[in-house]
Each structure stands twice: as C-alpha cells, then as structure tokens.
Amino acid sequence: MLRYEGTLYRPPSEAESLILQATIGCSYNECTFCAMYRDKRFRVRKLEELRAEIEWVASRAATEVRKVFLADGDALVAKSSFLLELLGLLRAAFPNLQRVSCYASPQALEVRSVAEMSELRRGGLTLYYLGIESGHDEVLGRLVKGVDSARMVEVALKAHAADVKLSTMILLGAGGRSLSLEHARESARVVNAIQPRYVSTLVMTPVEGTPLWEQAERGEVDELTPLELAAELREFIAGLELRGSVFRSNHASNYLSVAGSLPKDKPALVAALDGVLASPERARFRPRGLRGL
C-alpha cells in the first residue's frame, strides 16, 4: 500500500496524479512563509519501499495512472541515479504514463547539472514546479529564499536548457504595502526572463509555526486587502511579456480566480482587473473561508 508520511502537498494541477513520496520534507526548509515541511526532517526514501508502493498501485490500476507527482518539497535534490531508477520503475509499471513532475527548489536546481536534468527528462521527469515568489531582491531576502533574482533566473534557465517545462509561482502580497507594485513589476521582469510554460499566483498567508507568523504577531507584516492584491496582480500581468504561457490564479489562497493564455489574453486579463479596481463593489472576491494553504 501507499504509506504517506505527514501532510501531503501537491500543486492544484496535480489533483488527478498519483502522488509518490520519493523524498520526505524539504532539504532547504528555510523560507519564512512555508509551513509545509516544518515538522519533517529531510530524507530520501528507500527505493525498495517505493518499488513496493508502485507495485501495489500497478496491481490495482496500472493503466489508469497517467501522471505521477514526486513529493515532498524538492525531490529533484535526490541523487540523479536514484531518480533515474525510480523513473524506470514508474515507466515499467504504468504503460499509459504521460508525465512525471516534482517541486524543484532553487537549491535543487543549483545542484543538478543540465546533463542530469536532460537524462531525467528523457526518463519521464518533464515538469518542475518552481516557487519564484518574487523578482524583487529585497523581498526575496526577507522571505529567506536563499537566492537573489539573478540566481533564480540562472537556475531556472538550466531547466530550460535541459528542455524541462517550468510551472512557476509568484507570491502576491510578499512585498507588503510599501513594495507592492515594485514586487509586481520585478516579478514580471524575472518571469519574462525565464519564459515558463505556466505561471500562477498565490497569496502570502501567515501560517502558525512559521517565522512569517511570528513576524505577523509582532505586527511586522502587512496583509494586503483583496483590492490591494488585485492592483498588484494587475501590475504583474501588465508587465508580463510572455511568448507562450498559461496563467492561472486558481490556487485556493487567491481572492480572485483568473486564467488565460499569454500573450493572447493579456489585454482581457488586464481589462478585467481594471474593472475590479474601478468597481470593487461588483467584484466577486472569494470568501476567506474558502481559501487555504
């Protein structure tokens, strides 16, 4: 059977995927806003345990598994030889497998070479989820992301060089009130430099047990209003110059759910957000109760 350790997290677009915990926790685990793996000590799981889990699923639903998401926080940091063997097991077990994906921290992208990522991509690992969070260096520093914007672009472009697709996340509200629009513009600049296949936004939310929560308790964090976040999102989308990306703000933390293909839908998305800013009383903000991590 599948043995999950602790709370599982996966991107919204992996709702239909088989989630396999290739690693436990996050090897970096320093980002101030992230509560996902605070309670876990990072380790790579034993291949034999994973083999048994894959065989168990294959004995029940071998032809139904089309997508696999490798949890937890940054499975890409595990040794390339381990990941290659794991991908081989997945391909052998699931004849209709179309893609394998994982979160990739900037730290994991730093340690994996382009040659390794290419080999893993040929083995089926074709999509990474990368939390850029911000393109603003001061904001990245406050979040303790561990890299500045220039390094973020460099490591992301390694994935591109290996022909791996990127799905990137930006954290709305991360610059607080004073840096809100600068954070939006700088984030657009970095996303433009990376040209990811998918771009999405989340809203920064202090979660108990994180340094961000403690900062919020001390009154050091501005939580932006839905309208301020809409203005930030508008600035971000207006700054995007993408050649072929899908944009979504469908994560549960967003107050507004908007989506489109860029560059085609950019004018419509900006106009829709201008409409929200001009007539906020007519906007359909999601109630807080429906927002989660």
In angstroms, rounded to a whole number, what is the distance separating the alpha carbons of residues 248 and 243? Answer: 16
Q: Token pair for residue 207?
A: 């979660």
Choose one: 32-40, 118-126, 189-197, 209-217; the region binding ligand SF4 (CB under 6 A): 32-40
CB of 143 to ligand SF4, least distance (A): 8
Q: By CB under 6 A, name the one of 20, 22, 36, 199 that touches ligand SF4.
A: 36
In angstroms, rounded to a whole number, what is the distance separating the alpha carbons of residues 180 and 170? Answer: 13
Q: Is the dihedral of CA 223, 224, 229, 231 positive or negative?
A: negative
- Contact between 31 and ligand SF4 by CB under 6 A: the answer reads yes
- Contact between 206 and ligand SF4 by CB under 6 A: the answer reads no
Q: By CB under 6 A, name the one of 13, 101, 105, 245 that touches ligand SF4.
A: 105
Choose one: 29-37, 51-59, 262-270, 284-292; the region binding ligand SF4 (CB under 6 A): 29-37
**According to the 3-state scheme, what is the secondary structure of 38-80?**
CCCCCEECCHHHHHHHHHHHHHHHCCCCCEEEEECCCHHHCCH
Q: How many residues bind ligand SF4 (CB under 6 A)?
A: 12
- Contact between 29 and ligand SF4 by CB under 6 A: the answer reads yes
- Contact between 169 and ligand SF4 by CB under 6 A: the answer reads no
Q: By CB under 6 A, name the one of 18, 24, 34, 170 that touches ligand SF4.
A: 34
Q: By CB under 6 A, name the one of 123, 124, 131, 196 that touches ligand SF4.
A: 131
In angstroms, rounded to a whole number, what is the distance separating the alpha carbons of residues 167 and 196? Answer: 6
Task: Return the residues of window 60-89 that contact ligand SF4 according to CB under 6 A.
Answer: 73-74
Choose one: 21-29, 120-128, 225-233, 255-263; the region binding ligand SF4 (CB under 6 A): 21-29
Q: Which residues bind ligand SF4 (CB under 6 A)?
A: 26, 28-31, 34, 36-37, 73-74, 105, 131
